[in-house]
Amino acid sequence: MPPSISATGRNGRRYLRPAALTAVIFFSVSGGPYGLEPVVNQVGGRNALLLVVFAPILWAVPVILMVLELNSMMPRNGGYYQWVKSGLGPMWGFFEGWWTWLYMFVDLAIYPVLFVEYTAYFFPAIAGFRYPLCLAIIWSCTGLNLLGILPVGRSSVALGSAVMVPFIVLFAAAFRNGISLHPAATAAGSSTSIPAAGLGLLTVMWNYLGWDNASTFAEEVDRPVRSYLVSIAWAFVLILVTYTLSILAAVQSDLDPATLERDGFPSLGFQIGGGALAGLLAAGGMASALGLFVSNLLSVSRLPKAMSDDGYLPSVLRNVDARRGTPPVSIIACAIAVSGLVLWHFEDLLIIDIVLYGCALFLEFFALIGLRRSKPALDRPFRIPLSRAGLAAMTSFPLFCFLAGIAAVASGQGVHTPAFLFALGSLASAPIAWQAARR
């Protein structure tokens, strides 16, 4: 990857290059293995390893291919909103933007909570001030986004290093202690219920979603077609390897899965390398939460501006800072919405997140197929080597994961009913908002 993170265009404006774009995509999707801790307890060791390795083949790879083709056709700010509007029409484009906007609010609400949990490793009493600290994280990251895309890119590179170093140390200590890469060395674990298995699948899916998020600022990327191809490839390999090694280390360490779920990766670090490694992983968790929030706020803040440009949202959202190229009102509006959602529990936020994201995601797949039919001659620098029927078959893989996970969790005893109702209400709000936007 190029050593610099930005390039200067003819207009004097600075653009992201692959090094920084890789870091932003890494945080748009992952932010490291943080968030995978419950999976071993939910489905057992061997099943957790199988999910982490094979779920992305069915769930993530089709999404990546779809993003690369559509982004190569239309590398425009607004990304997925522009794709669906072009492929399925203005109404479905609005639904895509609306659902994604809502899902991103929910997604962003997860990360300040995770930051507080990892900070509490060093200062346990701080857990009693969760909400004020969450607000401090939200608005400090908002301030960074207001400074422009390059400060976000630079911070993502720095935070990415802060996330990866603790896991490199963890993996080195685990191999020194005798971790084996052979699957036979991984215990199967106890049997699991169908709702728990579904929640485990949703947890892994959540840790592999967001490949389309970085498409919303494509016009701010240097040579976007090539840059996205290179950066997504690097990010995918990095995420897959770190997830796999993290689960291997966890299940072969003899750490109680319930302890890993409750106390996170610092407990695994303490088991393998003592207190110093535990503290290093807690600090990495703080960096991960910050990087996830900063990068995802960057991506979602460009969406309402694109919708406002088309007249579907208030015109004030399209205002752009002439010097920094940022939409300040859009960024602040997103931060206000997120500030009210940090009181939900993690599992409920995850369910809402997956339901809204999944529905928006499949509109993108339908747009991919629709554009093959309606605009076959449109230039596609990256083209998936499949016919329309092949694309439909490819879409069925993530659709299966989505429906299987939701159905399994919904088969439980109603613990997450409020989360499902909130998600369904959010989906139903799109037609109402569309009618209001057309007046």
What would the pLDDT profile of 141-198 be if each residue is shown by its tens digit? 999 999 888 888 889 889 989 999 999 999 999 988 877 666 555 555 555 677 778 8
Determine the average pLDDT of the residues in 108-126: 89
Joined tokens for residue 279: 């503290």
User: What angle separates helix 130-146 from helix 275-309, to the nearest 10 degrees?
Assistant: 60
Residue 337 has what pLDDT? 86
Examine residue 74 and state whether it is found in any structural domain, yes or no.
yes
pLDDT tens-digit map of 292-305: 899 888 888 888 88
Taking the CA atoms of the chain, what radius of gyration do you get in angstroms?
A: 21
- Give 140's contacts (C-beta < 8 A, 6+ positions apart): none
Residue 186 has what pLDDT? 53
Q: 67: closest CA among 218, 201, 244?
A: 218
**How many domains are there within the chain?**
1
Examine residue 3 and state whether it is found in any structural domain, yes or no.
no
Examine residue 235 and state whether it is found in any structural domain, yes or no.
yes
Residue 221 φ/ψ, nearest 5 degrees: -115, 135
Is the confidence at residue 6, as pLDDT, over 50? no
Examine residue 254 and state whether it is found in any structural domain, yes or no.
yes
Q: How far is CA 151 from CA 25, 134, 139, 140, 298, in A?
A: 15, 21, 15, 13, 11
List, as one string, the DSSP characters of 68-126. HHHHHH---TTTHHHHHHHHH-HHHHHHHHHHHHHHHHHHHHHHHHHHHHHHTTT-GGG
Is the confidence at residue 2, as pLDDT, over 50? no
Q: Report percent pLDDT > 70 for the chain.
A: 93
Determine the average pLDDT of the residues in 82-95: 95
Q: How far is CA 52 from CA 208, 284, 411, in A?
A: 9, 21, 23
- Give 358's contacts (C-beta < 8 A, 6+ positions apart): 402, 406
pLDDT tens-digit map of 26-83: 988 988 999 899 999 888 888 899 999 999 999 999 999 999 999 999 998 889 999 9
Distance in angstroms (rounded) separating the CA atoms of residues 79 and 409: 31
Q: Are 277 and 269 in contact (CB under 8 A)?
A: yes
**Which residues constitute the domain of residue 120?**
15-438
Q: State the chain's mean pLDDT as an integer.
A: 87
End-to-end CA distance of the chain: 48
Residue 1 has what pLDDT? 38
Q: Are 20 and 6 in contact (CB under 8 A)?
A: yes
Is the confidence at residue 8, as pLDDT, over 80? no
The amino acid sitting at 399 is L
User: Which of the four pLDDT bands, split at 50, 70 and 90, describes residue 413?
Assistant: low
In a 13 Å sphere around the CA of 35, the CA atoms on its Cβ side amount to 35
Q: Bigger pLDDT: 1 or 104?
A: 104
Examine residue 120 and state whether it is found in any structural domain, yes or no.
yes
Q: How far is CA 241 from the centre of its chain?
A: 17
CATH code of the domain containing 406: 1.20.1740.10
Examine residue 6 and state whether it is found in any structural domain, yes or no.
no
Q: Are 8 and 277 in contact (CB under 8 A)?
A: no
Residue 402 φ/ψ, nearest 5 degrees: -60, -50
Tell me which H or E stretch contains 7: strand 6-8
Residue 189 has what pLDDT? 52
Strand ranges inside 169-219, DSSP E: none
Is the confidence at residue 351, as pLDDT, over 90? no
Q: Are 399 and 62 in contact (CB under 8 A)?
A: no
In a 13 Å sphere around the CA of 149, the CA atoms on its Cβ side amount to 30
Determine the average pLDDT of the residues in 361-384: 94
Examine residue 5 and state whether it is found in any structural domain, yes or no.
no
Contacts of 158-164 with CB under 8 Å at 24 or more apart are 159/23, 159/27, 159/287, 159/288, 159/290, 159/291, 159/294, 160/23, 160/26, 160/27, 160/291, 162/283, 162/284, 162/287, 163/31, 163/32, 163/34, 163/284, 163/287, 163/288, 163/291, 164/32, 164/238, 164/242
Q: How far is CA 127 from CA 7, 124, 137, 270, 277, in A?
A: 42, 6, 14, 21, 22
Residue 67 has what pLDDT? 96
Examine residue 255 and state whether it is found in any structural domain, yes or no.
yes
Q: How far is CA 130 from CA 147, 259, 354, 436, in A?
A: 26, 22, 24, 36
Determine the average pLDDT of the residues in 276-294: 93
Is the confidence at residue 377, as pLDDT, over 80? yes
Is the confidence at residue 85, as pLDDT, over 90? yes
Q: 108: closest CA among 408, 308, 344, 283?
A: 344
